[in-house]
Amino acid sequence: MSKLPRIDYYFDVISPYSYIGFEILHKLKHQWKGVSIRYIPIFLGAIMNETGNRSPGMLPAKAAMSMTDLQRTAKFWNIPLTPNPHFIDWIMKYRPTRALRILLVLEEQDKELMLRAARGFWLRLWSRSEKIFEDSDFVEVLKAVGVKNVREVIEKSKEEKYAKILTENTKKGVDLGAYGAPWINVLTADDEEHSFFGSDRFHLIADLLQQPHPLPDKLLFNQKSKM
Ligand SMILES: N[C@@H](CCC(=O)N[C@@H](CS)C(=O)NCC(=O)O)C(=O)O
């Protein structure tokens, strides 16, 4: 019997395109039958360092267009986006690693809770324009998504074990060729591996896995309509 195809979704909560891809994948997973999905937190800053890449917001030639593209993409998918004007200062000063380690603690307790918290971090940072770097930020997000033992989760996330898992996940991403986020690794039923970069590659993944196409009806309708 052949195995189920699997999608490994490598993401960082600092990355707005990881947020967009997460929401698209969340819609698709109800339509794509027989595909298993693993969500893997990674530290994008380390990926950038390892590969010599830079965040588009830090390259002047890319920064303006990348913000326009991000706004357009979020609008297209109906994802509320309010980037904070100090975002670049924030990423120079803070790391998202504490939030990512919290996700790893939650993953051990309840995978769905981890996904709710990941969305909570993105909502807070990219839709509400607030920080996700300090204890008070974590408390708000964790409470909002229904975590009962908030303080315990935050304390546990400081254990070395979670720093190690995050490093291992990130290394695995780099080994797969990741230079940005989201990085999506698809393992087909016949054990072939295919990597994709970005939240805008789902039509190619649908094709590879012979699953329904993710384009919304309005585009499909336009394609079919008479010239
Ligand atoms: N076209 C991609 C862009 C994804 C993207 O720019 N991701 C950022 C992080 S939010 C990144 O890692 N960029 C690295 C690069 O552009 O080389 C999409 O629509 O998702």
Average pLDDT for runs of 10 along the chain of length 227: 87 97 91 95 97 92 93 93 93 96 97 97 96 98 97 98 98 98 97 97 95 70 57
Residue of minimum CA distance from atom 12 in ligand 1: 180
Which pTM does this prediction carry? Answer: 0.94
State which ligand 1 atom lies nearest to the alpha carbon of 44: 12
Q: How many CB atoms lie within 10 A of CB 82?
A: 13
Return the pLDDT at 175: 98
Return the pLDDT at 30: 87
The ipTM assigned to this model is 0.99
- Whether the ω angle into residue 83 lies within 30 degrees of 0, i.e. cis, is no
For ligand 1, whether the C-beta of 83 sits within 6 Å is no
Q: How far does the centroid of ligand 1 lie from the alpha carbon of residue 184, in Å?
A: 12
For ligand 1, whether the C-beta of 57 sits within 6 Å is no
The string of DSSP letters for 117-163 reads HHHHHHIIIIIS----SSHHHHHHHHHHTT-S-HHHHHHHTTSHHHH
Domain ranges of the chain: 6-209
State which ligand 1 atom lies nearest to the alpha carbon of 20: 20
Q: How far does the centroid of ligand 1 lie from the alpha carbon of residue 48, in Å?
A: 11
Q: Which two tokens stand for residue 112?
A: 């769905």
State which ligand 1 atom lies nearest to the alpha carbon of 200: 19
Return the pLDDT at 216: 63
Q: Roughly what angle, to the nearest 10 degrees, separates helices 16-31 and 60-76? A: 30
Residue of minimum CA distance from atom 4 in ligand 1: 198
6-209 homologous superfamily: Glutaredoxin (3.40.30.10)
Return the pLDDT at 223: 53
Give Cα 94 to chain centroid, integer Å.
18
Return the pLDDT at 193: 97
For ligand 1, whether the C-beta of 97 sits within 6 Å is no
Q: Is 66 assigned a catalytic role?
A: no
Q: How far apart are CA 37 and CA 184, in angstroms?
A: 10
